A and B are shown apart, each in its own frame.
Chain A
Amino acid sequence: MTNFLFGRYLPGNSWIHQMSPQSKLLLSFYFVIVIFFANNLVSYGVLALLIIVVILLSGVSITFFLKGIRPLIWLIIFTVGLQILFSSGGTILWQWGPFSITNLSLINGGFIFIRFLLIIMISTVLTLTTTPLAIADGVQTILKPLKRVHFPVDTLALMLSIALRFVPTLMDEMETILNAQRSRGVDFGSGSLTHRVKAAVPLLVPLFTGAINHAENLSTAMEARGFTDSEHRSKYRIYRWQLKDTLSWIVFLVAGGLVLYLRK
């Protein structure tokens, strides 16, 4: 768990750290779409090259980065394995009961592997270089047009930023409760399935009551500080579109065009 990088933030001051969150979010989204257009080795090569440049620019050491996403590899291998064993079409190379491996399924499995890897890499770079609060602000900026159809964008953004703010707090609390119950003789994570489910009760009940207490206290404190509704507020953190964002978009658009040109 301690080496797991997905969803964590690593403070820094690199090119990618300095980009505005809305453009980073949109770029990741755009990149994921481009990944699905790529369908041969050359086009994937372009994307892989791009992602390596992005990781280098983010200032995170490559070995550390790869180690951090390693736990997710098992999930990918599992999915790819299913894809290879169960898809049909092409020349059959090996068959046993319902399982078969064909040359097409091998190629498809390989592509799925690369796609997963690229998606995980870009989203890990995003979360590593952007604070949770900046992500919430980015989402708010991007969703702004939805206000036209009376979608409560500001409320959603508020909920998102509070939720993100409380993730580490609740994690800490979970750790403390876990330790407190351990020293009262609870054995987490061993024994039969029913035993394990039962052992979760002394953890979950305090965690939920704690969360409800937090919510009550926080809402009282917010009201006391003059919060009435989320629509009529000014903003303290303002992220402007910078030259860095424009340049990054140009690079990504060129890469996207290249992928479209190279695909078969």
Chain B
Amino acid sequence: MDKAISFNQVTHTYQANTPYAQNALDNISLEIPTNSFTAIIGHTGSGKSTLVQHINALLKPTQGSVTVYNRSITPTTTNKNLKELRRHVGMVFQFPEKQLFEETVIKDIMFGPKNYGMVDAEAEQAAIEAMKLVGLDKSFSEKSPFDLSGGQMRRVAIAGVLAMKPEVLILDEPTAGLDPRGHKEIMDLASYLHDHDHITIILVTHQMDDVVNYASEVVVMDKGKIVQTGTPAEVFADPKWVYRMQLNLPTSAEFAQQLIDAGVPIGQLPLTIDQLADRITELARKGENPDD
């Protein structure tokens, strides 16, 4: 597989050369393949957000280099001509509803595309498509974004990023503070964009259930270092290690672990609720015919 993004021995220090200096990333090397759905996990302050902000050059490495679609970002990269790079990489920040500012919803969504050179008609078309994607009715387009509910505002903000038609979409805790339904809708949207539009998705999250349900690759961070990469099954294989990283198991695995502790021979740890249900039915069937 191609790699969309690669980190080459990246170190990032905030406020370098002052008493406030803080090492946020420590010698990170990482490759994120095109069309992958990568989840980045780690406890608070492990450097996840710092890492993803390197991908569209909002932060530049203190040492090392980041390559995004053949464009390389090094400590000496200047702030000029980064627009082209940022057009490829859409970034949804934590609580993205904070970035809304225009008079109407449609204008706010058109803002990004217009900055990247689309003419009004094109931008409007892109905005209407993006609104449909995030499940906002057309009737919202002339409303003020500040009159909407929190969940709707977040959808407008996400639509504003999608309208730029990015090839890589970074979601930094996109579901924080949403109700269960809003949560599922946003995650399903990410999954749809990945499967249908072949967008590379990078998801920063604390929800282990989302990791096992949606992601194909997982990157685990701790104290500014990458401590593990692999599929969800590989990463969650060792529960003790997961707890040591101050992370949780997905709900199903947690439940299965308690069954194992109680003496039920589950075997390999099931990650999703479907896998757990399968394992339990299998065991129940064996119980009916102990001779099998």
A189 to B82, CA, bound (A): 13
Q: Is B223 an interface position by the 8 A CB rule?
A: no
| Contact call A209/B99, Cβ cutoff below 8 A | no
| Bound form: Cα–Cα A184–B15 in Å | 25
| Contact yes or no, A184 B19, CB < 8 A | no
Q: Which residues of B contact A179 (CB under 8 A)?
A: 53, 58, 91, 93
Contact residues in A for B56 (Cβ distance below 8 Å): 183
Q: How far is the CB of A194 from chain B (nearest CB, A)?
A: 16
A206 to B98, CA, bound (A): 6
As a 0/1 sequence over residues 181 to 222 of chain A, the CB contacts with chain B under 8 angstroms (1 = contact) are: 111111101100000000001100110011000000000000
- Give complex CA distance A187, B16 in Å: 25
Instruction: State the CA gap A84–B58 with chains docked (Å).
Output: 44
Say whether B91 contacts A64, CB under 8 Å.
no
Specify which of A64, A173, A177 is in contact with B18 (CB 8 Å cutoff): A64
Interface centre among B15, B96, B101, B115 (most CB of A within 10 A): B101
A2: B residues at CB distance < 8 A: 15-16, 18, 20
Contact between B98 and A184, CB atoms less than 8 A apart: no
Given A184-B111, A202-B111, 17 further pairs, Cβ under 8 A: A173-B98, A177-B99, A179-B53, A179-B58, A179-B93, A180-B98, A183-B89, A184-B99, A184-B112, A184-B160, A187-B83, A189-B79, A190-B79, A202-B99, A206-B100, A206-B101, A210-B98
Whether A10 is near chain B, meaning CB under 8 Å from some CB there, is yes
Contacts of A210 in B (CB 8 A): 98
B80 within 8 A of A: yes
Indicate the size class of the contact surface on chain B: 20 to 34
What residue in chain B is nearest A185 (Cβ atoms)? B115
Are A176 and B98 within 8 A (Cβ)?
yes
A-B contact pairs, 18 of them (CB 8 A): A2-B16, A3-B17, A10-B19, A64-B19, A179-B91, A179-B93, A183-B86, A184-B112, A184-B160, A185-B87, A185-B164, A190-B79, A190-B80, A202-B99, A202-B101, A206-B98, A209-B146, A210-B98
Interface size of A by CB at 8 A reads 24
Determine how close the nearest CB of chain A comes to the CB of B258; give it in whole angstroms: 38
Residue-wise, chain A 1-18 has the 8 Å CB interface mask toward B (1 for contact) of 011000000100000000
CA distance A210 to B153 in the complex (A): 13
When C-beta atoms are compared, the residue in chain B nearest to A175 turns out to be B58
B98 A185 Cβ-Cβ under 8 A: no
Residues A180 and B93 in contact in the complex (CB < 8 Å), given A2-B15, A202-B111: yes
**Chain A residues within 8 Å of B90, by CB:** 183
Name the residue among A10, A179, A183 with the largest chain B CB count within 10 angstroms: A183
Instruction: Please give, as numbers and ranges, the residues of chain A lying within 8 Å of B96 by CB-CB distance.
Output: 180
B83 / chain A contacts, CB cutoff of 8 Å: 185, 187
The reply on B203 being an interface residue by CB < 8 A is no
Q: How far is the CB of A160 from chain B (nearest CB, A)?
A: 24
Q: How many A-B residue pairs have CB under 8 A?
A: 65
* Shortest CB distance A66–B (Å): 13
**What residues of A have a CB within 8 angstroms of the CB of B256 in the complex?**
none
CB contacts (< 8 Å) of A180 on chain B: these are 91, 93, 96, 98-99
**Selected contact of B98 from candidates A3, A64, A177, CB within 8 Å:** A177
Determine the distance from Cα of A201 to Cα of B93 in the docked complex, in whole angstroms: 19
A176 contact set on B, CB distance < 8 A: 93-94, 98
- In Å, the complex CA distance between A205 and B111 comes to 14
Tell me, rounded to whole Å, the shortest Cβ–Cβ distance linking A207 to chain B: 9
> What is the chain B residue whose CB lies nearest that of A184?
B112
* Residue on B nearest A199 in the bound complex, by CB: B115
- For residue A157, give the distance in angstroms from its CB to the closest CB of chain B: 28
The chain B residue sitting closest to A213, CB to CB, is B98
Write the nearest CB–CB distance from A16 to chain B, whole angstroms: 16
- What 0/1 readout, one digit per residue, does chain A (159-186) give for beta carbons within 8 Å of chain B? 0000000000000010011011111111
B100 contacts which chain A residues (CB < 8 A)? 206
Whether A184 pairs with B58 at a CB distance below 8 angstroms is: no
| Cα of A186 to Cα of B112 in the assembled complex, Å | 8
Given contacts A173-B98, A177-B98, A206-B99, contact A183 B91 (CB under 8 A): yes
Contact of B115 among A3, A186, A189 (CB under 8 A): A186
**A185 to B101 CA separation, bound complex (whole angstroms):** 15
The residue among A176, A180, A181, A186 with the most chain B CB atoms within 10 A of its own CB is A180
B73 CB contacts on chain A under 8 angstroms:
none
Contact of A185 (CB < 8 Å), options: B16, B18, B86: B86
**CB-defined contacts of B80 to chain A, threshold 8 Å:** 190
Contacts of A183 in B (CB 8 A): 56, 58, 86, 89-91, 161
Q: Which of B56, B87, B98, B161 has the most CB of A within 10 A?
A: B98
Q: Which residues 47-98 of A sit at the B interface, judged by CB distance below 8 A? A: 64
**CB-CB < 8 A to B241: which residues of A?**
none
